[in-house]
Amino acid sequence: MAKKSLPSGFFSKWTTILVATIFFPLFSYTVSQWLNRDRAEQIIESIYDRQLRSVLFTMNRYSWEVCHGWMEQVSAVVVSQDSAQQRADALQTILKRYPPVKALLLGSSMHPAWLIVKEGGSVSEREAAALRIAWHTFFLQSAEEVEQVLHHAQEGYLHSLSIPWAPADGSAMSLLLFPILREYGLDPLFAAMIIDQRSCIDVAVAHKFRELNDRDLIFAVAAMPGDRLLYLSQPDPNTDFEIAEKMWVLPDLEMRIKIRGATLGQLVNKRIRTNLRFLAAINLLALLGALFLFRSVRSYMAAARMKTDFVANVSHELRTPLALIQMHAELLKMGRAGTAQKQRQYYDTIYRESVRLGRLIDNILDFSRMESGIKESGLQPVNLAEVVRDTLATYRIQLQEDGFRLQEDWDHPAPVINAHQGLLQQALTNLLDNAVKFSPTVKEIGLRLYHSDGEVVLEVSDKG
């Protein structure tokens, strides 16, 4: 079954469609990303900001739950134990169980605070007096806040307050106050936990951050005021943190977080640049693909034109021997051959042209096989003078009939070259045909065969 050829313009049309549907939208999207990169940076930065804040929220909630558990256990002991000694023993058990809690103050706004110190620890009388003063001062100056905390506790929500206090030795301590509701008719009590900040951070904050196992984040806790760094998850020369929030349960501590090795702005810029480079690479690949497609289409169209030209040339090559055969056959038919020798020359010409015609057809088939990779063109030693002589013997009668005069100039000895005899005859015939075609007035054709700088030159000239 014969193959159907594609319509003219098929590939160019589809190339345009592919460029319009793939490359142009991709290029437009890249340009849009470049023009809107500031907006994209803001969006990505807000996403990172929310992620970092979510980590701080997790830390805050966990630390609140830990400290809230301590407060609930203290409240349960105070409410359940009527005996002062039993209450003190139970509270000592709580102090031993939770290392961050160093001591407890117990009392009310109207009664002196009762100090319970962890076994093995000590508080000087001066420090104990300072604690009681801080206790009473806070109740006097923050009565409204204390009332709110008490109201929340009555509604079932246990909340705490941080009492301002600085130990004399400068250690990092916090004083955390919370209410204790007793039976109906009894005045509420208040308790204050003296908490070691570093130990509390390790138990209630750092432990949770280590569970996250995120090495790309740097987490820190600092005491405020004074900006004293109490905890740092990993060493980092850059201490500028992106986000900072106060701890809910210990508001005199500030949690800080950042991305390791870069600021948010640097990270966002790097990501935007990476995305733009990736888009540029895709655009480049698309452009190279479009160029490859364009070149392939152009090569295909050129090959199609070459095939068309080949068909035209083959028609011309076939027409020449056919014309000679037809002309000599007509001369013989009309009896214009004259002598028997003349007739023999005509028969010889018809025979040679028939052979040449067959050789042309064989060459066409050979070219078809060569294009399919089946056969290679074979070269062999050829006497160029004999090739020229045989070709002129066939063509000479036509030249004489057309009134042309042939001038020949050959070097001797005749050169032998490595060539394809049929293709040489075809090439020489084409040159003679062109000379005849372009010599309408001065009908003179020259043919030279000579050596030049180690090469063999076959030259056909005319006066056209």
DSSP assigned state of 118: -
The tokens for 406 are 């042939």
* 272, burial (CB in 10 Å: exposed 0-12, middle 13-18, buried 19+): middle
Q: DSSP H helical segments within 213-339, as ranges?
A: 264-334
Residues of the chain with pLDDT under 70: 1-24, 26-41, 43, 110, 112, 184-185, 237-239, 261-269, 271-272, 359, 363, 366-378
Sheet of 444-452: strand order equals 405-410, 444-452, 455-462
Say whether 5 sits in a helix, a strand or coil.
Answer: coil
231 touches 204 (CB < 8 A): no
The reported pLDDT for the residue numbered 50 is: 87
Give the integer Cα–Cα distance in Å for 379 and 419: 5
Amino acid identity for residue 335 in this structure: G
Specify which residues 101 forms β-bridges with. Answer: 195
| Domain ranges within the chain, ordered by starting residue | 379-464
448 touches 457 (CB < 8 A): yes
The tokens for 259 are 């991305």
The reported pLDDT for the residue numbered 4 is: 46
Specify which residues 116 forms β-bridges with. Answer: 104
The tokens for 464 are 């056209």
108 touches 189 (CB < 8 A): yes
Give the integer Cα–Cα distance in Å for 140 and 197: 26
DSSP per-residue codes, 391-403: HHHHHHHHHHHTT
Give the integer Cα–Cα distance in Å for 389 and 412: 14
228 touches 222 (CB < 8 A): yes
Give the integer Cα–Cα distance in Å for 124 and 171: 14
CB atoms within 10 A of CB 35: 9
The reported pLDDT for the residue numbered 289 is: 74
CATH top-level class for 379-464? alpha beta
The reported pLDDT for the residue numbered 177 is: 93
pTM here is 0.54
Chain centroid offset of residue 336 CA: 83
DSSP per-residue codes, 394-460: HHHHHHHHTT-EEEEEE-SSPPEEEE-HHHHHHHHHHHHHHHHHT-SSS-EEEEEEEEETTEEEEEE
User: For 382, phi and psi rounded to 5 degrees?
Assistant: -135, 135
Chain centroid offset of residue 319 CA: 60
Cα–Cα–Cα angle for 181, 183, 189, rounded to 5 degrees: 35
The reported pLDDT for the residue numbered 213 is: 75
The tokens for 457 are 């030159």
Smallest Cα–Cα separation from 174: which of 76, 102, 74? 102
The tokens for 272 are 């935007």
Look-up of token digits 């005899």? 421
The reported pLDDT for the residue numbered 221 is: 92
Give the integer Cα–Cα distance in Å for 411 and 461: 17
The tokens for 2 are 């014969």
DSSP assigned state of 110: S
The tokens for 342 are 């003349």
Per-residue pLDDT reduced to its tens digit, 207-262: 888 888 777 888 999 988 778 889 988 887 666 788 899 999 999 899 998 887 66
Give the integer Cα–Cα distance in Å for 323 and 353: 9
The reported pLDDT for the residue numbered 24 is: 65
357 touches 315 (CB < 8 A): no
Kindly give the pairing relationship between strand 405-410 and strand 444-452. parallel
